[in-house]
Chains A and B, each alone.
Chain A
Amino acid sequence: MLEMRKDIFADERADNLKEVGQPTQRQDMLGHVTGTSAYYDDHRFANLLHLKILRSPHAHARIRSIDDAAASRAPGVKRIIRAADVPVNLNTLLSLIQFGKDDEPSLATDVVRYKGEPILGVVATSERAAREALELVRISYDPLPAVFDVEEALKPGAVSVNPVYPKNTFEYHGKYDHQKLRFGAVEQAFAQADFVSEERYQMSPIEHAPTETNGSIAVPDTNGRFTVYTSTQALFFSLDTSAKINAMPSNQLHFIGGTVGGGFGGKVDTLTEPLAILAARLTGAPVRYRLSRHEEMQFGSPRGAERIYVKDGVMRDGRIVARQVRAYFDAGAYTRLSSYAVVKCVAHIPGPYTIPNVHADVFCVFTNRTPATAMRGFGVTALDFALECQMDKDAVAIGMDPLEFRLLNAYRDGDMKAHRREAKNCALIECAQVAAEKANWPLRDEFRKMSSKKDGGAERAGVADRTRMSTPAAPVRTGTSAPQRVTYERPAGSTSPPPIQSTPPATPPAGSTHGVRRFSSVFGTRRR
């Protein structure tokens, strides 16, 4: 059930609108329920050819030789596409906005850097013919040592994953292997804090798993142009990337999309269009390149995993006086968009709280794993998980209600954020108050009266003001004699917080082979 609370912030809003705010039916709903919405694959072409890709079975290996003679003679095969056929076989997605160096080939040349990396394409009259031809390709590899753990990858002597970034880290500002955030003086604040804790958080990669897999169809059009039907989330992003890789003027490409079967970030990488266009150029025929579900799951870029260390300094009265974050983004073998997410993560530290001393180092790390990419909440989801779990632990440690602890530290209009911009248009406090009321989470009066508005408005006077930054970068006093502070006593009868147990790591069963039964023991059996 959804309830609109129009009474809150009503003074900042005009509610005299006619169309905006109405529960109008979706423009595309009739198409959806009648099965007539046209996705990229709902366009039919005579003599459509199909592109399938041979992928590396190794996480890291040198390609010694490729023998595709038998494949090229297989029934239905029209063309083999090799790395040498790709006009510009090195790209990075964000080169369109001049961020980062070209580091990723469309088809691997001498070395493969993750399991599933594309090596060679077969264009055939059916997907089945293409798959059968791929079985005939013989590649000999020299396996190389691989690195999978972000912190292992940063150790001296670690295997170098990507020759463009030989130290396994993206380069920021031409000189640093990470993005820094410096605000106030954390060490001094930690020294004076009543309670200091450092915790480690580990995200899992996850799949976007849209019900429609990534794909595109490239069709030779009149006058040397190509029409491309695509599942992309970013039409010109994909068009310009395809033009660059194919060394074509962008106006030779006509991209059509816009109706997409889910994306969640997994359709930004332009995984299929460049090679579909290349195949159409080389064969003169329409070509479809559609990821199978297995490819989507294993080789389509996942949400990357982040490892985040959070160290907090907290006073007995509930103030967080210092927060230090060290985070590692697992980019996989190539940059894609992870370098961008690192900066977005840094901007988000220390979360929606006003903390006077903040220090962060966030790394974009290369490992021999499928390149990661954007996903719903990119750069922020992991940090929110780490920070909000940390907030809970902090609250337990000082014996305070976890929601009141958040309210006490919540950012408000006029507060200075760690990236040195004034907070405005805040509403965290109101969200917490409304959710608490709805869920019958008891809040004391002074917390129910708080406000996000500058200085809390008249009502906020009910709560003693918290120490806040008046000027950036000046460390805040941590002494309990800070003026206008409300202090919290441990609730009567509360005991000291239980020791925080770290989870013993889950490890693959020894000698396990791949199997669905194994999975049910990991996840629990799938329910309805």
Chain B
Amino acid sequence: MKTSIQFRLNDEEVATFADSGSNLLDVLREGIGDLSVKGGCWQGTCGTCTVLVDGMPRLSCVTLAESCEGKSIETVAGLRQGAKLHPLQTAFMERFAAQCGYCTPGMLMAAKALLDREPNPTRENVVDAICGNICRCTGYEPIIAAVLDAARAAPRRS
């Protein structure tokens, strides 16, 4: 049974048909074609597929796609504004905070949710924000440093 699903993806209206009960990860990748979202465990335990739903980090592999009807989804594909990289992307590059790169999209979105909520995070805040995202390559230190750098680099909100 196919059902129609419509939501905002990175500030664009998108719509597709999917099997009822599909998860958001499959709908984004297979239905919409946003391949920036990666699947790592399909069990909700690794964080690789993290996207933002109405600003909150969600594991797209265990998020029912139909529950996202009418909501706003953000993925790493929408992170940069045109040619300009998001401060998190710049900081990840400068800190060499990716090796195989497979966890990076989810890690960036988890970090973005933090910085959107808390522009001046402590190291502890950063650890809390990314502790659900598994990275097997970096040992986490460069990622933590990059998120803290990005917070410092971003224009301060009043």
Contact = CB atoms under 8 A, between A and B. Distances in A.
Given A39-B38, A528-B131, A26 B96 contact: yes
B113 to A, nearest CB: 16
Given A42-B35, A211-B46, A33 B85 contact: yes
A420 interface: no
A29 B93 contact: yes
B105 interface: yes
B89 A293 contact: no
B75 A35 contact: yes
B87 to A, nearest CB: 11
A293 B100 contact: no
Interface in A9-38: 25-26, 28-38
Interface residues of A, number: 33
Interface string B1-41: 00000000000000000010000000000100101111111
A209 B131 contact: no
A210 B100 contact: yes
Contacts of B48: 211
A209 B128 CA distance: 22
Contacts of A264: 136
A124 interface: no
A260 interface: yes
A261 B38 contact: yes
Contacts of B92: 29, 32-33
A48 B81 CA distance: 33
A165 B95 CA distance: 50
A212 interface: yes
Contact of B136 (A34, A39, A211): A211
A262 interface: yes
Contact of A34 (B42, B89, B135): B89
The prevalent SS among residues of A at the interface is loop
Given A212-B40, A293-B42, A293-B43, A260 B100 contact: yes
A480 interface: no
A517 interface: no
A517 to B, nearest CB: 16
Given A25-B93, A292-B42, A293-B45, A37 B136 contact: no
B101 interface: yes
A32 B104 contact: yes
Nearest to A44: B33
A39 B102 contact: yes
A96 B119 CA distance: 56
A212 B128 CA distance: 23
B1 to A, nearest CB: 12
Contacts of A5: none
**For this complex, into which size category does the number of interface residues on chain B fall?**
35 or more
B79 A294 contact: no
Interface in A94-111: none
Contact of B89 (A33, A262, A294): A33
Contact of B40 (A34, A36, A126, A211): A211
Given A33-B108, A293-B45, A211 B76 contact: no
A212 B102 contact: yes
B105 A35 contact: yes
A37 B102 CA distance: 9
Contact of A211 (B103, B108, B131): B103
Given A209-B136, A211-B136, A262-B136, A34 B36 contact: yes
Contact of A31 (B42, B101, B135): B101
Given A44-B33, A212-B100, A262-B137, A35 B77 contact: yes
A45 to B, nearest CB: 11
Contacts of B41: 213, 293
Interface in B37-58: 37-43, 45-46, 48
Given A26-B96, A44-B33, A264-B136, A37 B42 contact: no
A393 B70 CA distance: 65
A263 B89 CA distance: 24
B64 interface: no
A528 B127 contact: yes
Nearest to B127: A528
Given A29-B96, A39-B38, A293-B40, A34 B79 contact: yes
Interface string A119-157: 000000010000000000000000000000000000000
Contacts of A211: 38, 40, 46, 48, 100, 102-103, 134-136
Residue from B33, B37, B75, B100 having most chain A Cβ neighbours under 10 A: B100
Interface string B79-118: 1100001000100110010111111110010000000000
A210 B43 contact: no
A292 B40 CA distance: 9
A411 to B, nearest CB: 30
A80 to B, nearest CB: 23
Contacts of A30: 93
Contacts of B37: 35
A38 B36 CA distance: 9
A261 B101 contact: yes
A264 B93 CA distance: 23
A262 B46 CA distance: 14
B5 to A, nearest CB: 17
Interface in A250-275: 259-264
Interface in A178-227: 209-213
A521 B35 CA distance: 39
26 contacts: A28-B101, A29-B92, A29-B101, A33-B85, A33-B92, A33-B98, A34-B36, A34-B77, A34-B80, A34-B89, A35-B38, A36-B36, A209-B134, A209-B136, A210-B100, A210-B136, A211-B46, A211-B48, A211-B100, A211-B136, A261-B100, A261-B101, A262-B99, A262-B100, A293-B40, A293-B41
Given A25-B93, A32-B92, A211-B102, 12 more contacts: A29-B96, A33-B89, A33-B98, A35-B35, A35-B77, A35-B104, A37-B101, A210-B102, A211-B100, A212-B100, A259-B101, A293-B41
Chain A to chain B: the 10 pairs with minimum beta-carbon distance, closest first: A35-B36, A261-B102, A32-B101, A293-B41, A528-B131, A35-B76, A32-B98, A33-B89, A262-B100, A35-B105
